[in-house]
């Protein structure tokens, strides 16, 4: 890598099952292979550790996002690339953490609700549809689509590699990673 790494938070937002975690894992692997310092804040993992005890009320969801944003801010200012994979359904709170962090790339992981329901490995949509889970984003609680995301990944139309490439291209364009990494990744896509 050579030069000093710049910190940035890559915030992947979208419905449950849209592909946030999958893209995040792919990005983590590619960036680590080039010796970038990475931390991953995944919504499910954070809820079990940092936000244990919070409910899914709007207030608690906002508090969860604030906590994730605070940790991401600390890591970013210490020159770490932070990958955040969390539904974060409300626009105002996403804007709040973006303003706090500064070096922030909002990625809208976009897949139609029907596609997300088909991918539902945890069975959460099914439970929400029959009333076993309440306030579930996309069913009986809203998801506010980002108005001007830095990157939009349409996971029902593109591969994980194509989605990740869009994010890596944005990182390179903004000077967070060097173009050598991007060309190496392009050469490796045929192996995926």
183 is a catalytic site residue:
no
Query: For the chain, first and last CA: distance in Å?
Result: 23
Phi, psi (deg, nearest 5) at residue 18: -75, -25
Contact 158, 111 (CB under 8 A): no
Q: Give how far Cα 86 sits from Cα of 13, 34, 189, Å.
A: 6, 25, 26
The active-site residue, picked from 88, 179, 183, 190, is 88
Burial class (CB in 10 A: 0-12, 13-18, 19+), 131: exposed
Sequence-distant (6+) residues with CB within 8 A of 115 are 17, 155, 156
**DSSP 8-state secondary structure symbol assigned to residue 5:** P
Kindly list the catalytic residues.
Answer: 88
């Amino acid at each position: 890598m050579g030069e000093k790494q710049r910190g940035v938070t890559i915030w992947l937002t979208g419905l449950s099952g849209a592909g946030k975690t999958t893209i995040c894992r792919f990005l983590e692997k590619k960036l680590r292979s080039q010796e970038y310092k990475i931390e991953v804040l995944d919504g499910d993992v954070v809820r079990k550790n940092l936000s244990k005890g919070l409910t899914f009320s709007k207030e608690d969801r906002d508090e969860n996002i604030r906590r994730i944003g605070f940790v991401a801010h600390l890591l970013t200012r210490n020159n770490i690339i932070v990958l955040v994979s969390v539904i974060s359904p409300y626009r105002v709170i996403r804007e709040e953490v973006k303003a706090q962090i500064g070096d922030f790339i909002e990625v809208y992981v976009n897949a139609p609700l029907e596609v997300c329901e088909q991918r539902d490995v945890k069975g959460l949509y099914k439970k929400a549809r029959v009333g076993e889970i309440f306030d579930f984003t996309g069913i009986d609680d809203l998801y506010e689509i980002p108005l001007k995301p830095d990157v939009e990944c349409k996971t029902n139309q593109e591969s994980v590699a194509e989605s990740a490439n869009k994010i890596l291209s944005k990182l390179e364009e903004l000077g967070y990673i060097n173009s050598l990494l991007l060309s190496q990744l392009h050469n490796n896509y045929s192996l995926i």
